[in-house]
């Protein structure tokens, strides 16, 4: 084992390694610093050189170097090429300069071969190992993913099959892929049957176009989920209401893939909702829509923006229903309402008109489209005919009728509430016209007049306490000597906004409301006070004040006391007070007023019949009454005009009346005397006194006082 | 959502994987025919790419070694791929045997592979996660028990952020990672760029984007911005070979030809 003469050069080995390292670095990833690489390669260079120079050559060292290169990840094929080439070209010169052995070329060749062999074996082993490792890793990863998927799938399966809600999966063509048992049970199919179904079979015309459109948008990927209440039909045809949520499952790249439906059976809740809604909007007795639903519909119609749309309402009320309830009992009354409701519905609901019960025995028909003027009237007449058929309830045969108030107008003419108020008013008109089974149609002008009257009637009591009434006096003059014998007291209402109102504008209202008693008493007292003053000032004038007495006052048991009190307060002698009663007030009543009249007459008060000739006087009866004067009604005097052939007739009538009155011992006053000619004729016929424009219009008390003063002056 | 991101939906071996292509470029055999085909296609279009990858790997090695010498003993390597040799744990543990490393990758095969080679190394762990979900990464990293987020951490993002397009808001992801670590922690980033690149290179890059995972090239300023409030250590964000080369031989005549910037930043003490 003697060493050869040539020594290994350390610096030469480093030089060799540096060149080697550079060659490698250009070709491959070196996971070390340059220093590390060079140190490593220097060791390899020394090793190779020592083996080459050894007494006994072995290629083992070169084989190790080849293997070590691979282990250091210096695996790039070019690395091997350079390494092999460098052994032959530079190793001896660089690391063992001067080495000279006879078999040196053979040793170099064997070194090269061993290095390449070691490199190749190591690279092959490493490649096998890495390939195996990466393959195993791939399979492990796949297993892991699959295990995760299986776990996930198992969890999903548990949810899917155990869920109380129905879950179903369908592809984009609508074919059901799978459903859980809950879904199948809800619809009454087996899961196998469900899997044969296409989703489109589960759609229905009643679903409305929205549902199908939502589904289309879902499968086209325009939306990800849909939630709605949807009706299904079970296999047996029964109805199932569900709360349905459908979600879209997409592919990884976003394309739609499946739909998942989750359904909950809400049939009971839905039915309850429907029932509650029906109850809220229908009358429990008759099953007809109630006023809430009616107003809902009416409002809908009224909100139609079309300006020329007309709407009609027929407000119907049974005639005399209270009597049926009172005499036959509420049970029969209710049954009658049920029959009437059914008939109304049959008669007009078929034509598309809504019939509703407003309450009690009131029904209302909404004529949503009045295409021509008479439509609403036709509907009302149909309703009246339907009601008029006899109704049999138990043993009773009832003859029923109704009255109808009709309003039809443009939808733009006011609010629904105004329309209903008008209908109510019109129904009242229909009723007020008397008969049964009548209809009336709304008349805006009449309504306006009535509204004014109503307002006046309402204001009357306050007006009386606020002293808004005044009394004017119209002279009544003797036709014989032309002197003023009496004045008629006439009440006026000094209305704060409407001005001076004449009696015909409010006396009727006062009579209707009963205020006439207080108003009449007030006029009586005021007149007595004024007349008392005249009497005190002008006792010789003997001026009579004539006051109207309403029928109601006349029938008041205390009228005699009231009159006596007024006379006392005014300081007026009874013979200077004349009370005017209308024919009807005197005649229509039997004993009591007549007794009162006698008692009044007994106090010395004069009594007159106003507007004589316009009523139906019982002439025989007239004779028994304690009457002093007849006031001829205006129309008789109006008829007495010159050149009018009819005036001859009027004159004869007046002549006859005057004779009659005189025959009964009554004096006669002519009203509405307007001309001298009339005065002359009336005088010729023997009429006692006259009243009218010719003698003076109604005037304030001061005016009368003035007239009385003027008359006294010539004498005084 | 979290579940779906954490769980891979499939392992498709008929499609190439970025991690395996990378391994091929580094001379590994942890790859399949489909990966090698793609690698050869890319190499044909961008001849420098293999060099870029090697340079990136070298940059990472230098940075980890530097951090280890500075006393950092826990690392979070996001986008670790298939480590053949010169792995972070090898580099770090050579300097400090106590160093702990958590690898993160999105590729389930890469993760399985990492687990197999790290078997028996108790100071390492592997997480499968998407870097677009930093909260998930941080939660899983804590769960390994290897990283103490109260102490400085080396967060490594080597050649990975350019896989995140702007539409995924990389600034937010980076901020989440920066916020998760305490002062004294380091951030290591290498990132492909279009700056200083010849036109034909950029054209080729566009072409390669069609076949491989899309890469978003960014400017030096954009890469620098990823460091946020972190203070860059010398020499800042530079072409990778210029970052603290170990010998003059390491520096190529044209360091820009590697087409990527590298940099290291340190989180300052707050306030």
Share of chain A above pLDDT 90, in %: 37
With H, G, I as helix, E, B as strand and everything else as coil, classify residue A249. Answer: strand
How far from each other are the two terminal CA atoms of chain B, in whole angstroms?
Answer: 36
With H, G, I as helix, E, B as strand and everything else as coil, classify residue A52. Answer: helix
Query: Per-residue confidence at A27, pLDDT binned at 50, 70, 90?
Result: low
- pLDDT tens for A428-476 read 989 887 778 889 999 888 888 888 888 888 888 889 889 999 999 999 9
What b/e sequence results for B126-153 when a residue is b if at least 16 CB atoms lie within 10 Å of its CB, and e otherwise?
A: bbbbbbbbbebbbebbeeeebbeeeebb
Distance from C-alpha of A278 to C-alpha of A487, rounded to nearest angstrom: 71
Distance from C-alpha of A278 to C-alpha of A389, rounded to nearest angstrom: 30
Query: Per-residue confidence at A2, pLDDT binned at 50, 70, 90?
Result: very low
Question: What is the predicted pLDDT for the residue at B213?
Answer: 61
Q: Is the pLDDT assigned to residue A275 strictly greater than 70?
A: yes
Phi (first) and psi of residue B27, to 5 degrees: 90, 10
For residues A171-199, average pLDDT: 90
Nearest CA in chain B to A31: B86
Looking at beta carbons, which residues of chain B come within 8 Å of A145? 7-11, 108
Distance (Å) from the C-alpha of residue A85 to the closest C-alpha of chain B? 22
Nearest to A402, CA basis, from A372, A357, A371, A444: A357
- pLDDT tens for A264-274 read 999 888 888 88
Q: Is the pLDDT assigned to residue B3 strictly greater than 50?
A: no
Q: What is the largest CA-CA distance in chain A?
A: 197
Angle, alpha carbons A379-A381-A384 (nearest 5°): 110
Distance from C-alpha of A112 to C-alpha of A118, rounded to nearest angstrom: 10
Q: Is the pLDDT assigned to residue B45 strictly greater than 90?
A: no
Chain A: residues touching B (Cβ < 8 Å): 21-22, 25, 28-35, 73, 75-76, 126-127, 130-131, 133-134, 136-138, 140-142, 144-145, 148-149, 152, 252
Share of chain B above pLDDT 70, in %: 90
Query: Per-residue confidence at B210, pLDDT binned at 50, 70, 90?
Result: low
Question: What is the predicted pLDDT for the residue at A99?
Answer: 83
- pLDDT tens for A331-360 read 999 999 999 999 999 888 777 889 999 989
- Which of B85, B95, B118, B250 would you mutate first to test chain A, the one with the most A CBs within 10 A? B85
Please count the helices (runs of H) and the strands (runs of E) in chain A.
27, 21
Q: Smallest Cβ distance to A145: which of B10, B31, B57?
A: B10
Question: What is the predicted pLDDT for the residue at A65?
Answer: 92
Token pair of B64 as six digits: 């980890």
Who has greater pLDDT, A59 or B27?
A59
Secondary structure of A180-193 in HEC code, one letter for each residue: CHHHHHHHCCCHHH
Q: Is the pLDDT assigned to residue B137 strictly greater than 90?
A: yes
Distance from C-alpha of B67 to C-alpha of A85, rounded to nearest angstrom: 40
**Does the distance separating the beta carbons of A145 and B9 come in below 8 Å?**
yes
Lowest mean pLDDT among A492-501, B140-149, B241-250: B241-250
Contact B20, B31 (CB under 8 A): yes
Helix (H) or strand (E) holding A547: strand A544-548
Question: What is the predicted pLDDT for the residue at B271?
Answer: 54
- pLDDT tens for A530-556 read 999 999 999 999 999 999 998 888 888
**Does the distance separating the beta carbons of A29 and B247 come in below 8 Å?**
no
Q: Treating both helix axes as pointing N-terminal to C-terminal, what angle do B18-25 and B108-118 enclose, rounded to 10 degrees?
A: 60
Q: What is the pTM of this model?
A: 0.51
Other beta carbons within 10 Å of A563: 25
Distance of CA B220 to the CA centre of its chain: 17
DSSP A142-195: HHHHHHHHHHHHHHHHHHHHH-SSEEEEEETT-BEEEE-HHHHHHHT--HHHHH
Region for B71 from its dihedrals, namely left if φ exceeds 0, alpha if ψ lies in -120 to 50, beta otherwise: left
**Does the distance separating the beta carbons of A35 and B13 come in below 8 Å?**
no
Q: Is the pLDDT assigned to residue A664 strictly greater than 80?
A: yes
């Amino acid at each position: 084992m003697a060493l050869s003469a040539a020594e290994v050069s350390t610096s030469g080995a480093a030089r060799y390694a540096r060149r080697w390292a550079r060659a490698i670095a250009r070709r491959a990833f070196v996971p070390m610093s340059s220093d590390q690489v060079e140190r490593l390669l220097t060791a390899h260079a020394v090793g190779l050189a020592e083996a080459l120079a050894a007494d006994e050559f072995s290629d083992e060292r070169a084989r190790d170097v080849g293997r070590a290169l691979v282990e250091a990840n210096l695996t790039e094929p070019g690395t091997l090429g350079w390494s092999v080439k460098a052994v032959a070209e530079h190793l001896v010169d660089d690391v063992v300069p001067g080495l000279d052995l006879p078999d040196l070329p053979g040793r170099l060749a064997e070194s090269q071969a061993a290095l390449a062999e070691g490199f190749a074996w190591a690279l092959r082993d490493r490649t096998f190992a890495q390939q195996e490792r990466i393959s195993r890793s791939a399979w492990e990863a796949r297993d892991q993913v699959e295990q995760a998927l299986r776990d996930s799938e198992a969890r999903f399966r548990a949810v899917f099959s155990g869920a109380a809600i129905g879950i179903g999966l369908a592809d984009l063509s609508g074919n059901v892929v799978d459903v859980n048992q809950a879904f199948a049970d809800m619809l009454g199919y087996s899961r196998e049957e469900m899997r044969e179904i296409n989703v489109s079979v589960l759609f229905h015309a009643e679903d409305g176009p929205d549902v199908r459109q939502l589904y289309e948008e879902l499968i086209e990927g325009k939306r990800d989920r849909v939630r709605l209440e949807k009706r299904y039909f079970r296999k047996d045809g029964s109805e199932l209401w569900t709360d349905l949520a459908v979600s879209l499952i997409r592919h990884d790249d976003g394309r739609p893939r499946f739909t998942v439906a989750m359904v909950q059976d809400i049939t009971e809740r839905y039915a309850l909702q429907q029932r509650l809604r029906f109850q809220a909007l229908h009358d429990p007795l008759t099953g007809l829509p109630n006023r809430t639903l009616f107003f809902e519909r009416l409002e809908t119609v009224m909100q139609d923006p079309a300006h020329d749309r007309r709407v009609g309402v027929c407000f119907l009320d049974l005639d005399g229903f209270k009597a049926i309830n009172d005499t036959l009992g509420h049970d029969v009354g209710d049954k009658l309402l049920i029959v009437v409701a059914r008939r109304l519905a049959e008669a007009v609901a078929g034509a598309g008109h809504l019939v509703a019960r407003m309450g009690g025995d009131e029904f209302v028909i909404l004529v949503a489209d009045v295409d021509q003027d008479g439509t609403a009237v036709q509907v009302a007449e149909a309703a009246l005919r339907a009601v008029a058929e006899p109704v049999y309830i138990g043993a009773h045969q009832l003859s029923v009728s109704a009255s109808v108030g009709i309003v039809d107008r443009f939808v733009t003419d006011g609010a629904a509430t105004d329309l209903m108020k008008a209908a109510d008013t019109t129904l009242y008109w229909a009723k007020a016209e008397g008969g049964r089974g009548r209809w009336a149609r709304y008349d805006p002008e009449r309504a306006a007049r009535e509204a004014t009257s109503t307002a006046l009637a309402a204001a009357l009591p306050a007006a009386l306490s606020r002293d808004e009434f005044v009394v004017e006096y119209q002279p009544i003059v003797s036709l014989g000597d032309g002197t003023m014998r009496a004045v008629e007291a006439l009440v006026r209402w000094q209305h704060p906004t409407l001005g001076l109102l004449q009696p015909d504008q409010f006396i009727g209202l006062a009579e209707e409301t009963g205020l006439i008693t207080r108003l009449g008493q007030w006029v009586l007292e005021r007149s007595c006070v004024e007349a008392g003053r005249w009497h005190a000032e002008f006792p010789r004038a003997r001026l009579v004040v004539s006051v109207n007495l309403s029928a109601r006052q006349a029938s008041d048991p205390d009228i005699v006391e009231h009159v006596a009190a007024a006379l006392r307060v005014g300081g007026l002698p009874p013979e200077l007070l004349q009370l005017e009663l209308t024919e009807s007030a005197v005649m229509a009543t039997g004993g009591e007023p007549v007794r009162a009249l006698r008692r009044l007459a007994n106090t010395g008060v004069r009594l007159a019949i106003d507007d004589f000739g316009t009523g139906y006087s019982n002439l025989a009866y007239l004779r028994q009454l304690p009457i002093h004067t007849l006031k001829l009604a205006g129309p008789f005097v109006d008829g007495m005009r010159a050149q009018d052939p009819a005036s001859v007739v009027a004159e004869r009538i007046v002549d006859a009346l005057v004779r009659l009155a005189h025959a009964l011992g009554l004096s006669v006053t002519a009203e509405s005397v307007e001309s001298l000619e009339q005065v002359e004729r009336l005088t010729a016929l023997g009429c006692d006194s006259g009243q009218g424009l010719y003698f003076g219009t109604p005037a304030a008390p001061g005016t009368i006082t003035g007239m009385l003063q003027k008359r006294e002056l010539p004498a005084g | 959502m979290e579940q779906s991101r954490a769980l891979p939906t499939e392992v498709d071996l008929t499609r190439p994987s970025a991690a395996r292509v990378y391994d091929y470029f580094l001379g590994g055999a942890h790859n399949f025919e489909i990966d090698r085909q793609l690698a050869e296609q890319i190499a044909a279009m961008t001849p420098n790419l293999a060099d870029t990858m090697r340079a990136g790997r070298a940059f990472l090695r230098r940075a980890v070694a530097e951090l280890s010498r500075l006393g950092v003993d826990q690392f979070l390597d996001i986008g670790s791929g298939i480590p053949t040799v010169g792995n972070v744990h090898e580099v770090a543990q050579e300097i400090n045997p106590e160093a702990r490393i958590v690898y993160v990758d999105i590729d389930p095969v890469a993760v399985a592979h990492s687990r197999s080679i790290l078997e028996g190394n108790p100071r390492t762990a592997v997480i499968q996660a998407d870097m677009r979900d930093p909260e998930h990464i941080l939660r899983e990293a804590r769960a390994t028990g290897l990283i103490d987020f109260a102490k400085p951490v080396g967060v490594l993002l080597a050649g990975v952020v350019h896989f995140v397009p702007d539409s995924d808001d990389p600034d937010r992801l980076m901020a989440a990672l920066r916020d998760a670590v305490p002062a004294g922690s380091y951030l290591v980033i290498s990132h492909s760029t279009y700056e200083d690149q010849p036109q034909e290179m950029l054209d080729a890059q566009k072409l390669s984007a069609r076949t491989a995972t899309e890469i978003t090239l960014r400017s030096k300023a954009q890469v620098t911005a990823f460091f946020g409030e972190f203070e860059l250590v010398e020499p800042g964000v530079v072409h990778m070979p210029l970052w603290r080369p170990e010998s003059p031989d390491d520096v190529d005549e044209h360091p820009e030809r590697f087409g990527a910037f590298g940099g290291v930043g340190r989180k300052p003490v707050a306030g």
